[in-house]
Amino acid sequence: DQQVKQNSPSLSVQEGRISILNCDYTNSMFDYFLWYKKYPAEGPTFLISISSIKDKNEDGRFTVFLNKSAKHLSLHIVPSQPGDSAVYFCAASGNQFYFGTGTSLTVIP
Amino acid sequence: DTGVSQNPRHKITKRGQNVTFRCDPISEHNRLYWYRQTLGQGPEFLTYFQNEAQLEKSRLLSDRFSAERPKGSFSTLEIQRTEQGDSAMYLCASSGPGGATGELFFGEGSRLTVL
């Protein structure tokens, strides 16, 4: 029973362009949504979060958008850099954290 | 404080043996989580502690799995009579004051291979 879904397993973008990673969820009771970034052989690291009462949060090159009616959130990275190449996990929190299956982003120099 | 520490980083064992993983969270964090991650999947929740109390366990945590956090600091995850299906990365994470709301700090994980 996957409560958080990332339907795109991989994404490739050119350096300098925008990367858009998508995530869908099923439980309207989630109160926070988060994005984590993971490099090989490392644990996930926190990137950015958004409260369920907001629709946008921005931190430098990273912006997360939340559409509660569609139960959808997205992460925008602009401009994309080669160092952004990693697996990105979407997560939602209530009493515990539920993670999506990840999207592998490759930024091509 | 260097963050969440897990050991061993890698463990290879034969089917039927017991294994134990240890997690040392960030010292001021009161919540500690265990997750399991297999190839191509996101982290799957196993259990979490608030201080020394184990507040929730996933149905993924069969009776062969047990987790403890005896003094509200480090935690151990033991798997008894390991099976090949237990092969995975076991991730520990902690949370508490000082981070962004909802932020989990993950360790580097303990990779288990059951032969």
List, as one string, the DSSP characters of A45-68.
EEEEEEETT-SEEEETTEEEEEET
Mean pLDDT value across chain A: 94
- Partners of B75 in the beta sheet? B23
- Give the Cα separation of B6 and A59 in Å (integer): 30
Contact B104 A97 (CB under 8 A): yes
- Residue-wise pLDDT tens digits, A44-78: 999 999 999 999 999 999 999 999 999 999 999 99
- Residue-wise pLDDT tens digits, B66-90: 999 998 899 999 999 999 999 999 9
- Grade residue A1 by pLDDT with cuts at 50, 70 and 90: low
Percent of chain A with pLDDT over 70: 99
Q: Which of A34, A43, A98 minimises the CB distance to B45?
A: A98
Query: Considering only alpha carbons, which residue of chain B is nearest residue A97?
Result: B45
Query: At CB < 8 Å, which residues of chain A contact B?
Result: 4, 6, 9, 31-32, 34, 36, 41-46, 49, 51, 89, 91, 93, 95-102
In this structure, what are the phi and psi dihedrals at residue A82, rounded to the nearest 5 degrees? Answer: -55, -35
Question: Are the beta carbons of B95 and B31 closer than 8 angstroms?
Answer: yes
Residue with tokens 């034969």: B14
CA atoms within 13 A on the CB side of B76: 10
- Residue-wise pLDDT tens digits, A3-15: 999 999 999 999 9
Give one word for B59, left, alpha or beta, with left for phi > 0 and alpha for psi -120 to 50: alpha
- For residue A31, give every residue at least 6 positions away whose Cβ sits within 8 Å of its Cβ, in sequence order, or none: A51, A52, A93, A94, B102
